[in-house]
Amino acid sequence: MTTSIDIAVCLDRSSSIAFYSKQIRSSLRSILNRALSCHQSDVRMALIEFQSHSHHWRTNIHPFTSSGDEFQEWIDAIEIENGNFNENKAIVDALGATLTLDWRPNNNINRYHEKLVILITDGAPCSLLDDTCACNSNDLWRLSDEFEKQDITLVVIGIEPSIIIYDDFYCALANKTGGIYLPFINATRVLSSVIQGAILGEDTLSQLFRRLDIHNDIEYNSLYHYKYVQKRVDFMMEYCRTMADIRKWLYPVHHPSTEYITGGMNVDDGDDDNFEPGSPSLETNYLLCPSINIYFTPITDDEGYRTRLPTTASGDSSFNVVGSSPVSSIRTDLDLYSEIDDDCF
């Protein structure tokens, strides 16, 4: 049995990813070329550009094409304008637009057809932190149910470091559809291999994703650490039915935009003995919470890899700030533990 594949790329065009635009284009070209090198006639690609709700347009849709040259023209023509970094990203609009594309049906007994959506972003959808956004978009969590019904696999590629605050949500969202969350640094290598394997008929996309090695394939050299988000991911998938459920239990406070620190900082404002997971104080930002001491030191784990500040905080953790300036490593000693405790729900 042969395999064909339709791939729709949802690409964040907001100003916050401008620094990474060249690397993103290069990554997409590599993934496309690897796929086309297998069976060119069996691969189609679409592109959906999206911005924030503050712009005059939210999505720009390029329908499926089997021409690799045409797809490369689309991504080469993308321009990212400077603007407000604190933007409400139109992710729901973009993923909703993928459902309107002309996907090929999987109704040929001699051919297995895969449907893949790749979302590339560095931040949260507006509906994750705020239920008062004026965009009036569909419920993203329910939207992923439609992906399941139509056998569409979602892969979320997160651009670090800002994405680490939301990687648990994106991991759960992708897992619902049989897909995965991938740090951008590993996306080209992993996706190229998995897509090629699916086209050559080795297994389905979902099966190939499940067989990836979490440490060597997904986490390697990134800020992402699955063991820190696993409880939250499992909770979302088992108990949450809407975005309102997720906001209630896992994102109860709209945190202000994270500032990536460029100088030393000591915060010790007292105790917070009444803290319980899922119900933080309205006066407290638990991203930078009481009893956190931050120092600039080069931190690695026992195997020499960079470690991260997990979404669910734990003691003696760290993360690297990666940007246009030299890489800095920030050590955090946390006296609070915010991992999901099943007894709290």
To which residue do tokens 């065009």 refer?
13
To which residue do tokens 């972003």 refer?
121
The answer to whether residue 50 sits within a structural domain is yes
Residues 340 and 298 in one domain: yes
The answer to whether residue 238 sits within a structural domain is no
Q: What is the pLDDT of residue 65?
A: 96
The answer to whether residue 247 sits within a structural domain is no
Q: Which of 340, 337, 296 is nearest to 320 (CA)?
A: 296
Spatial distance between the Cα atoms of 186 and 158, rounded to a whole number of angstroms: 10
Residues 192 and 293 in one domain: no
| Residues 6+ positions from 230 with CB-CB distance below 8 Å | none
Spatial distance between the Cα atoms of 190 and 119, rounded to a whole number of angstroms: 15
Q: What is the pLDDT of residue 337?
A: 38
Global pTM reads 0.74
Low-confidence ranges of the chain (pLDDT < 50): 254-345
pLDDT tens, 254-267? Answer: 444 444 333 333 33
112 and 3 Cβ atoms separated by less than 8 Å = yes
Q: What are the backbone dihedrals phi and psi of residue 188, each rounded to the nearest 5 degrees, phi first?
A: -60, -50
**Could you tell me the two tokens for 216?**
């060597």
Domain final position from 206, 228, 250: 228
Spatial distance between the Cα atoms of 144 and 257, rounded to a whole number of angstroms: 26
Domain extent, residue 28, equals: 2-228
Q: How many CA atoms lie within 13 Å of 188's alpha carbon, on the beta-carbon side?
A: 10
Q: What is the pLDDT of residue 53?
A: 64
Say which CATH number the domain at 198 has: 3.40.50.410
The answer to whether residue 254 sits within a structural domain is no
| Residues 6+ positions from 310 with CB-CB distance below 8 Å | 164, 225, 228, 229, 317
Residues 272 and 219 in one domain: no
Residues 279 and 136 in one domain: no
Domain final position from 228, 247, 268: 228
Residues 218 and 268 in one domain: no
The answer to whether residue 110 sits within a structural domain is yes
Residues 110 and 191 in one domain: yes
Spatial distance between the Cα atoms of 343 and 338, rounded to a whole number of angstroms: 13
Q: Which of 247, 233, 258, 121 is nearest to 168 (CA)?
A: 233
Residues 165 and 287 in one domain: no
Number of compact structural domains in the chain: 2
Residues 285 and 146 in one domain: no
- 104 CB burial (10 A radius; 0-12, 13-18, 19+): middle
The answer to whether residue 251 sits within a structural domain is no
DSSP letter for each residue of 209-227: HHTS-IIIIIITTSS--HH
Residues 197 and 273 in one domain: no
Q: What is the pLDDT of residue 233?
A: 97
First-to-final CA distance of the chain: 47
Residues 282 and 174 in one domain: no
Residues 155 and 55 in one domain: yes
Q: What is the pLDDT of residue 185?
A: 97
The answer to whether residue 59 sits within a structural domain is yes
Q: Find the radius of gyration of the CA atoms of the chain.
A: 20
Domain final position from 228, 247, 274: 228
Residues 135 and 215 in one domain: yes
The answer to whether residue 253 sits within a structural domain is no
